[in-house]
Amino acid sequence: MNDNQEKWISIDEAAEYLGVKPGTVRGWLRKGKGVPAHKIGKQWKFKLSELDVWVKSGKSADI
Instruction: Provide the 10 A C-beta neighbour count for residue 14.
Output: 24
pLDDT band at 22 (very low <50, low <70, confident <90, very high): very high
Measured CA angle at 31 (ends 30, 37), to 5 deg: 60
Q: Is this model's pTM higher than 0.95 or not?
A: no
pLDDT band at 27 (very low <50, low <70, confident <90, very high): very high
- What are the Cα distances from residue 60, in Å, to 2, 4, 5, 35, 41? 24, 25, 25, 8, 25
* pLDDT at res. 18: 96
